[in-house]
């Protein structure tokens, strides 16, 4: 349906959240916070910071910024950390081929 905007219920039923657990979460959360404040994709309200306890609805434009920030810093990480971050980036890029919103659940 042209021009149809999915409601929160539509996205809630559809979503496949990205789950990030410690200690990997600790590496990624700083990159998430660099793009805030953002407009939450679920309700179009401004969010000041990444919510470590609940869902974070992140739009494609913000993911592109996150990816860029990680790629710029890759040289500063060990080989093992680089491999993790590259795998994360590849997962995000693949997911963005299918959706414009990825939900990240806080893990605290």
Q: Provide the residue-wise pLDDT of the chain in tens; the chain has 108 residues.
A: 445 555 555 544 445 556 667 788 888 999 999 999 999 998 999 999 999 888 899 999 999 999 999 999 999 999 999 999 999 999 899 888 888 888 888 776
Which tokens belong to 79?
Answer: 């080989």
Whether a cis peptide bond, with omega within 30° of 0, leads into 15 is no
What is the pLDDT, as a whole number, of residue 98?
Answer: 80
Per-residue confidence (pLDDT) for residue 2, from 0 to 100: 47
The per-residue pLDDT for 14 is 41
- Tell me 10's DSSP state: H
Reported as a single tens digit per residue, the pLDDT across 2-15 is 455 555 555 444 45
Q: What's the confidence (pLDDT) of residue 19?
A: 66
Q: Answer yes or no: pTM beyond 0.75.
A: yes
The domain locations on the chain are 8-105
First CA to last CA distance, the chain: 38
Predicted pLDDT of residue 13: 42
Burial class (CB in 10 A: 0-12, 13-18, 19+), 76: exposed
């Amino acid at each position: 349906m042209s021009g149809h905007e999915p409601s929160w219920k539509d996205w809630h039923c559809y979503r496949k959240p990205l789950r990030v657990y410690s200690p990997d979460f600790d590496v990624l959360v700083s990159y998430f916070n660099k793009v805030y404040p953002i407009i939450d994709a679920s309700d179009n309200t401004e969010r000041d910071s990444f919510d470590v306890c609940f869902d974070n609805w992140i739009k494609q434009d913000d993911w592109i910024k996150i990816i860029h920030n990680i790629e710029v810093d890759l040289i500063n990480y060990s080989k093992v950390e680089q491999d993790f971050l590259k795998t994360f980036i590849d997962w995000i890029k693949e997911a963005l081929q299918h959706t414009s919103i990825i939900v990240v659940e806080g893990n605290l």
